[in-house]
Amino acid sequence: MRDLQRIAQECINELDQINIPYGNVEKFVSNQRFSRTWGRCQKTSGGFLIQISEKLLQDHVPMEALKQTILHEMIHTCPGCFNHQREWKRMAALVNDTYGYNIKTYSDAEELGMSPVVRKVKHRFVCTGCGLVIERQKESKFTKNYKKYYCSRCKGRFQKEF
């Protein structure tokens, strides 16, 4: 398992070298509960909290994937960059051009050099009219009462596969 604090400091040093005006990051923490999120930047009363998926800290994950994610979240702390709009993209392009990263608004597991995240489908329904397949991971009103719902494509009914 990699040391998040040490690698975050390396990222801070890289941003300092090219004068990127990042905000006050109070804390970098790993999050073992992230299943489809690589990182998150949250505003706090005194600055920002950056959470990084524990999956990215594994030794087999390319270091570049971890650093790109930390830098992605750190760019959100820059003035006018809390979203993925023009200023955020400009800052990301500056970091990419300088260091050869591929920081962008979204990255999937394969782009980061990891195994794809496999969703566990617990409920599958098929429209008897057009064959539309609907899959759900969690129980919901639809999964409990699927017989009361109509297909949005053909107005057919649903049959439960599992």
Does an H or E element contain 66, and which? helix 63-75
Least confident of 100-104, 110-114, 137-141: 110-114
| Distance between CA atoms of residues 38 and 50, nearest Å | 11
Q: What is the pLDDT of residue 119?
A: 77
Which pTM was predicted? 0.76
Contact between 138 and 130 (Cβ < 8 Å): no
Q: Closest Cα to residue 96, out of 56, 9, 88?
A: 88
- CB neighbour list of residue 32: distance below 8 Å, 6 or more residues apart: 54
Give the amino acid at 108.
D
Q: What is the pLDDT of residue 112?
A: 83
Q: What is the pLDDT of residue 115?
A: 75
3-class SS shares of the chain: helix, strand, coil, % to 5: 30, 20, 45
| Distance between CA atoms of residues 115 and 57, nearest Å | 14
Q: Closest Cα to residue 63, out of 104, 115, 27, 114?
A: 114
- CB neighbour list of residue 86: distance below 8 Å, 6 or more residues apart: none
Q: What is the location of CATH 3.30.2010.10 in the chain?
A: 4-112
Pairing of strands 133-136, 158-160: unpaired
Contact between 82 and 44 (Cβ < 8 Å): no
pLDDT at 113 over 90: no
pLDDT at 40 over 80: yes
CATH topology of domain 4-112: Zincin-like (3.30.2010)
Q: What is the pLDDT of residue 6?
A: 98
What is the separation of C-alpha 122 from the centre of its chain, rounded to a whole number of angstroms?
23
